[in-house]
């Protein structure tokens, strides 16, 4: 936890990968491990029940190097006791956080390998006072479990200039020479400690293990723990090891919103999963002498979103030498002791809603709202947690077929008005908002309007032999369909006879994050459906045109595909692609689905939301029409032909005068338009995309509203206008709001150009990642003075969810001079809600050193990096490097098109970072490899080794790899003549 910030994540262990025959087997293993749990994993066991019922744990990093650092074990223990250390204090603080357990990380590689118990096994610091025993007893008295952290890592033993491991003492104890500073020696030492702890602390709850040691695995440590202490839990950091009970996810960041920690998780339910994160916003995982602040918004949001995904919040606080927490952490604990109890019933003993346990849909809701759902057993009672409140006084979310009977504000006990139709629950008139989590208790009469899985037969155009299509509609979320790496792919649902169909609900396997990211130097991406089509058939032979063709959001939880009011026997979902890119091989072109439920209607409840078109004033041919997927189960049609055929909604209120966001929910089988007039003002033309004749799609525009009531008139000048479902208004998003996009620019990495005038080809792709709209989109590089661009800007009138804009250009440096260091931004410009916005990424250009004939960064997009990954490196030449090289055949970097002017012997310079001593194998043009060994003191300081290589004139290929063990991280390579 911060535990090993510079060590590669090993979800696939080198010791195991060495036994694989080739690349195909390696990729298969990677996919299996990342999609797990493996078939042999004990996903359900009685020993896990107490943790499944928990919400949170408290993670304590504390040891000899807690500030002020101690280099003498006895002095540290003396100061611990003299300072008033108390086990009860830790247990009481955990209870204030709503934590059911404490993980004590004292035998930690960065904290002096201290053991807070009287140990008979010499080798590192051990206290005479039984601090661990006192903590276990205090926890037992107050129903707080204690789990002991164990590390596998000896590399930091000399970090303070004095070794914290005593090989001589341990060797004398064992009667043979053992070097604790090596992984095998340390594995042997720590192996003994596991047994000492098991023998002496029967009331301990288990071990939290920071990755694995080959000695442990070879000697069946985990199996022996299971035999000796069958009730104890085992947790493993950052990998899904089948014998472990819990998969822990360390300090994930980069989500939108930032508190939605589960977006970065990679393990599907019902696997027990922890989210491990620091409560102090800054500083180390351990007390470094500072009273660091706690971000209450971030921390409470993580706490709730984890509960909404059946994940346990393992919150790290930083006890001082005397055991007390710095003041700002104590203050946060006091806050939590008051804030959690009123909503405790929505957290403890509940599961995440929208997944295998049932429940409504979590995620992004209306008007900027975001939240999660928790469900009580059976899902008859659900809790809607509004973490980011909407800009309006209502919350609207997909109901997943649950018939709602009552809604109550959990904190105040007040009943709330609501309406339900078209697949949505709308909670109305909300005026009291909690600063961090407004919780509504929702009573239901159960889930309705879904066909029983027994009437559905699923057929797929491709499937992994172990995960057939039959798993798609078997009612079990623990069995799933795997497309076997095939895309495009289709799934056909046979309903047995012609039946009504309005929509279906898709639960994809939650085995990947929701967006492209890097985790401990390994690339990850979303393996969820992107572009899809839906076709219907009565005979399974004739399918006709798609009834729906769009993109599915990359989001956790159940996703819905509305197709209107249809009749068919066969429903086919055709998946064109997924969101994942090729930079993340385990996720690229992979698709797994737990369940698909077919719906034939939507629950309704009394009440009407504001802005319903069918309840407004209608003129001319405008008339209500049934639309079961629409709000209120109706829409208005007949709007084409001009202003005489219109809907006028009076009483659309705004709290203050000014620009507002007006949302129009409309239906259309082909692209068309609507015209909007607000308070009799100038008409505004609104483009309406194709969706379906009775499937609403949303478009938003900025409009001026006055304080109080407003009038909005909507019509169409098209001969046959779209249908109008509803109109809603709310404040504009913050001026800083930019819809989430992904801009990819290639080549990636610093481009080292030779002397004289040079040209490079640059391409870029802009992808729209959220269900929003960009208008007037342009994509182009902006070159410095003297440079020229060949190729026009790429442009599009609009981009919606999943759509792409791509451009390619040739950039040429000024004539008559050498290239100078510069950055050339590639910028995507667009408008959203009338506001001009942009996103950009630079192409970095640098002059190649005079003594080099070739230079390329390891992270350059022209290279192949297999299962290795790109990570930041502030002192590296491009501020990035490639990490996790070695340990398997495809964990490599392959430099293609390494061009030299003539055949001959060149000197290859390899710039790398390494902590300790590791080696590369270097192969040129597929020839026999040469070994390059590097030694370093840290993974942040680049160093250089070199070797002679024989190259052919023109293009060559250079591969750096190590199939047997980890290699150094790679910054770049270069060639000297």
* 160 and 178 both lie in a single domain: yes
The DSSP-derived string for 241-307 is -TT-SEEEEE-----SSTT-GGGG----TTSEEEEEEESBSSS-SS--S----B-HHHHHHHHHHHH
pLDDT for res 610: 86
**Cβ neighbour number for residue 157 with a 10 Å cutoff:** 20
pLDDT in tens, 621-645: 999 999 999 999 999 999 999 999 9
The pLDDT mean for the chain works out to: 93
pLDDT for res 3: 41
Terminal Cα distance for the chain, rounded: 45
Residues above pLDDT 70, as percent of the chain: 96
Residue 509's CATH number: 2.60.120.260
pLDDT for res 417: 96
In sequence order, what E strands does 120-223 have? Answer: 145-151, 206-210
Into how many domains does the chain fold? 6
Say yes or no to pLDDT of 8 above 70. Answer: no
Q: How far apart are CA 63 and CA 80, in angstroms?
A: 10
* 689 and 756 both lie in a single domain: no
pLDDT for res 936: 84
pLDDT in tens, 902-958: 999 999 999 999 977 899 999 999 999 999 999 887 788 899 999 999 999 999 999
Cis amide leading into 270 (omega within 30): yes
pTM of the entire predicted model? 0.92
pLDDT for res 23: 36
Cis amide leading into 257 (omega within 30): yes
* 869 and 962 both lie in a single domain: yes
Whether the CA torsion 963, 965, 969, 974 is positive or negative: it is: negative
Lowest-pLDDT range, 60-64, 143-147, 530-534, 938-942?
Answer: 938-942
409 is written with which tokens?
Answer: 């504000």
Say yes or no to pLDDT of 41 above 80. Answer: no
Cis amide leading into 68 (omega within 30): yes
Helix (H/G/I), strand (E/B), else coil: 636:
strand
What would the mean pLDDT of 643-667 be, rounded to a whole number? 95
Lowest-pLDDT range, 86-90, 449-453, 520-524, 814-818?
Answer: 520-524
What would the mean pLDDT of 534-549 be, rounded to a whole number? 96
Q: How far apart are CA 5 and CA 9, in angstroms?
A: 9
pLDDT in tens, 215-252: 999 999 999 999 999 999 999 888 888 999 999 999 99
Q: How far is CA 682 from CA 127, 167, 430, 679, 860, in A?
A: 80, 84, 33, 9, 52
* 165 and 223 both lie in a single domain: yes
pLDDT for res 24: 37
Whether the CA torsion 84, 86, 92, 96 is positive or negative: it is: positive
Give the alpha-carbon dihedral of 876, 877, 879, 880, to 10 degrees.
-80
Q: Is residue 10 part of a domain?
A: no
pLDDT in tens, 381-407: 999 999 999 999 999 999 999 999 999
Say yes or no to pLDDT of 10 above 50. Answer: no
Q: How far apart are CA 492 and CA 799, in angstroms?
A: 30
Residue 790's CATH number: 2.60.40.10
Q: How far apart are CA 637 and CA 640, in angstroms?
A: 8
Q: How far apart are CA 763 and CA 790, in angstroms?
A: 12
Q: Is residue 687 part of a domain?
A: yes
pLDDT for res 1: 55
Domain that holds residue 909: 854-976
pLDDT in tens, 876-896: 998 999 999 998 888 999 999
- Name which residue leads in pLDDT, 241 or 777: 777
Q: Is residue 757 part of a domain?
A: yes
Residue 157's CATH number: 3.20.20.80
**Cβ neighbour number for residue 358 with a 10 Å cutoff:** 22
Q: Which of 628, 575, 632, 568 is nearest to 606 (CA)?
A: 632
In sequence order, what E strands does 604-735 have? Answer: 617-618, 623-626, 634-637, 642-654, 658-668, 672-678, 684-688, 692-705, 708-716, 723-731
Task: List the 835-847 sheet strands across, edge first.
Answer: 751-753, 835-847, 822-832, 774-781, 794-799
Lowest-pLDDT range, 199-213, 738-752, 932-946?
Answer: 932-946
Say yes or no to pLDDT of 653 above 70. Answer: yes
Q: Is residue 24 part of a domain?
A: no
Say yes or no to pLDDT of 20 above 80. Answer: no
Q: Which of 440, 439, 405, 408 is nearest to 419 (CA)?
A: 405
Per residue in 821-837, is it b (16+ CB within 10 Å) or e — as a string? ebebebbbbbebbeeeb
* 773 and 918 both lie in a single domain: no
Q: Is residue 19 part of a domain?
A: no
* 205 and 304 both lie in a single domain: yes
pLDDT for res 890: 87
Q: How far is CA 928 from the centre of its chain?
A: 40
Q: Is residue 4 part of a domain?
A: no
Per residue in 421-457, is it b (16+ CB within 10 Å) or e — as a string? bbbbbbbbebeeebebbbbbbbebeebebbbebeebb
* 375 and 507 both lie in a single domain: no
Q: Which of 254, 249, 361, 356 is nearest to 310 (CA)?
A: 356
Domain termination residue (choose one: 731, 754, 772): 731
Domain termination residue (choose one: 291, 310, 339): 339
Q: How far apart are CA 111 and CA 2, in angstroms?
A: 12
What would the mean pLDDT of 182-210 be, rounded to a whole number? 96
* 866 and 831 both lie in a single domain: no
pLDDT for res 889: 87
Say yes or no to pLDDT of 26 above 70. Answer: no
Residues above pLDDT 90, as percent of the chain: 88
pLDDT for res 33: 39
* 775 and 910 both lie in a single domain: no
pLDDT in tens, 834-880: 999 999 999 999 999 999 999 999 999 999 998 888 888 999 998 99
pLDDT for res 37: 43
Q: Give the Cα-Cα-Cα angle 971, 927, 959 (nearest 5 degrees).
A: 20
Q: How far apart are CA 753 and CA 735, in angstroms?
A: 40
* 197 and 70 both lie in a single domain: yes
Domain termination residue (choose one: 832, 847, 862): 847
What would the mean pLDDT of 950-971 be, rounded to a whole number? 95
Say yes or no to pLDDT of 11 above 90. Answer: no
Helix (H/G/I), strand (E/B), else coil: 327:
helix
Q: Is residue 555 part of a domain?
A: yes
pLDDT for res 40: 58
* 211 and 78 both lie in a single domain: yes
Q: Is residue 908 part of a domain?
A: yes
pLDDT in tens, 127-164: 999 999 999 999 999 999 999 999 998 988 998 999 99
* 361 and 415 both lie in a single domain: yes
Q: How far apart are CA 244 and CA 206, in angstroms?
A: 11
């Amino acid at each position: 936890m911060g535990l090993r910030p510079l060590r590669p994540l090993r979800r696939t262990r080198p010791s195991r990968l060495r036994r694989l025959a080739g690349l195909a087997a390696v990729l298969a293993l990677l996919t299996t491990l990342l999609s797990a749990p493996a078939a042999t994993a004990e996903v359900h066991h009685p020993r896990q029940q107490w943790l499944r019922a928990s919400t949170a744990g408290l993670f304590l990093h504390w040891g000899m190097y807690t500030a002020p650092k101690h280099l003498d074990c006895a002095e540290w223990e003396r100061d611990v006791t003299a300072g008033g250390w108390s086990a009860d204090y830790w247990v009481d603080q955990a209870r204030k956080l709503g934590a059911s357990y404490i993980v004590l990380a004292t035998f930690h590689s960065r904290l002096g390998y201290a053991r807070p118990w009287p140990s008979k096994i010499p080798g590192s610091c051990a206290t005479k006072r039984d601090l661990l025993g006192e903590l276990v007893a205090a926890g037992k008295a107050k129903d707080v479990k204690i789990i002991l952290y164990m590390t596998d890592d000896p590399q930091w033993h000399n970090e303070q200039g004095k070794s914290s491991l005593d090989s001589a003492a341990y060797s004398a104890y064992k009667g043979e020479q053992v070097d604790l500073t090596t992984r095998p020696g340390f594995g042997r030492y720590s192996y003994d400690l596991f047994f000492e702890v098991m023998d002496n602390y029967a009331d301990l709850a288990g071990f939290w293990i920071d990755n694995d040691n080959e000695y442990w695995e070879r000697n069946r440590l985990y199996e022996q723990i299971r035999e000796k202490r069958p009730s104890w839990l085992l947790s493993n950091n950052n990998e899904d090891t089948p014998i472990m009970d819990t998969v822990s996810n360390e300090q994930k960041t980069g989500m939108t919103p930032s508190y939605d920690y589960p977006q970065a998780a990679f393990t599907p339910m019902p696997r027990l999963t922890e989210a491990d994160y620091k409560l102090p916003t800054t500083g180390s995982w351990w007390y470094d002498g500072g009273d660091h602040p706690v971000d209450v918004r971030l921390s409470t949001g993580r706490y709730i979103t984890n509960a909404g995904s059946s994940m346990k919040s393992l919150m790290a606080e930083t006890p001082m030498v005397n055991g007390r927490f710095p003041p700002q952490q104590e203050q946060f604990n006091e806050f939590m002791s008051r804030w959690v109890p009123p909503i405790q019933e929505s957290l403890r003993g509940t599961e995440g809603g929208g997944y295998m346990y049932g429940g409504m849909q979590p995620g992004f809701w209306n008007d900027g709202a975001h939240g999660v759902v928790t469900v009580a057993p059976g899902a008859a009672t659900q809790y809607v947690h509004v973490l980011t409140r909407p800009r309006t006084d209502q919350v609207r979310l997909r109901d997943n077929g649950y018939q709602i009977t009552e809604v109550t504000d959990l904190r105040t006990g007040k009943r709330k008005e609501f309406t339900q139709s078209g697949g949505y629950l709308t909670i109305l008139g909300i005026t009291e908002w909690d600063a961090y989590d407004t919780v509504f208790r929702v009573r239901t009469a159960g889930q309705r309007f879904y066909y029983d899985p027994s009437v559905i037969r699923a057929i797929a155009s491709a499937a992994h032999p172990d995960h057939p299509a039959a798993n798609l509609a078997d009612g079990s979320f623990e069995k799933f369909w795997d497309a076997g790496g095939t895309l495009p792919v289709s799934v056909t649902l046979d309903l047995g006879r012609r039946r009504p169909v309005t929509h279906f609900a898709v639960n994809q396997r939650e085995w990947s994050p929701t967006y492209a990211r890097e985790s401990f130097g390994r690339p990850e991406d979303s393996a969820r459906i992107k572009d899809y089509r839906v076709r219907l058939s009565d005979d399974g032979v004739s399918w006709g045109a798609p009834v729906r063709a769009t993109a599915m959001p990359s989001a956790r939880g159940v996703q819905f595909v509305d197709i209107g009011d249809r009749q068919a026997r066969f429903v086919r979902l055709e998946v064109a692609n997924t969101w994942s890119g090729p930079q993340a091989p385990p996720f690229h072109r992979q698709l797994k689905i737990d369940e698909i439920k077919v719906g034939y209607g939507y629950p309704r409840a009394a009440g009407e939301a504001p802005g319903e078109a069918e309840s407004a004033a209608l003129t001319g041919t405008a008339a209500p029409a049934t639309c079961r997927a629409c709000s209120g189960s109706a829409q208005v049609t007949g709007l084409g032909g001009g202003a005489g055929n219109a809907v006028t909604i009076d009483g659309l209120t705004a709290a203050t005068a000014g620009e507002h966001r007006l949302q129009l929910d409309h239906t259309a089988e082909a692209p068309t338009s609507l015209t909007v007039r607000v308070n009799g003002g100038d008409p505004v033309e609104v483009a309406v995309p194709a969706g379906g004749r009775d499937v609403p799609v949303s478009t938003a525009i900025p409009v001026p509203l006055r304080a109080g009531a407003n009038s909005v008139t909507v019509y169409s000048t098209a001969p046959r206008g779209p249908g109008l479902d509803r109109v809603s208004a709310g404040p504009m998003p913050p001026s800083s709001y930019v819809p989430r996009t992904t801009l990819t620019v290639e080549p990636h990495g610093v481009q080292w150009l030779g002397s004289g005038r040079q040209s490079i080809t640059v391409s870029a792709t802009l992808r729209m990642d959220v269900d929003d709209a960009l208008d007037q989109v342009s994509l182009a590089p902006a070159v410095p003075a003297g440079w020229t661009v060949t190729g026009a800007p790429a442009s599009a009138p609009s981009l919606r969810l999943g759509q792409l804009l791509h451009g390619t250009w040739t950039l040429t440096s000024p004539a008559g001079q050498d290239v100078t260091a510069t950055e050339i931004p590639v910028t995507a410009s667009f408008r959203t809600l009338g506001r001009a916005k942009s996103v950009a990424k630079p192409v970095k250009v640098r002059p190649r050193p005079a003594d080099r004939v070739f230079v390329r960064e390891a992270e350059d997009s022209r290279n192949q990096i297999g299962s290795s990954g790109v990570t930041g490196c502030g002192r590296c030449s491009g501020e990035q490097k490639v990490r996790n090289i070695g340990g398997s055949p495809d964990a490599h970097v392959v430099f293609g098109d390494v061009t030299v002017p003539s055949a001959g012997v060149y000197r290859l310079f390899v710039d790398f970072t390494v902590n300790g001593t590791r080696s590369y194998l270097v192969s040129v043009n597929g020839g026999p490899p040469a070994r390059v060994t590097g030694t370093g003191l840290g993974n942040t300081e680049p160093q250089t080794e070199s070797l002679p290589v024989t190259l052919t004139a023109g293009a060559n290929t250079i591969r750096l790899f190590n199939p047997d063990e980890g290699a150094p991280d790679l910054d770049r390579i270069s060639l000297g003549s």
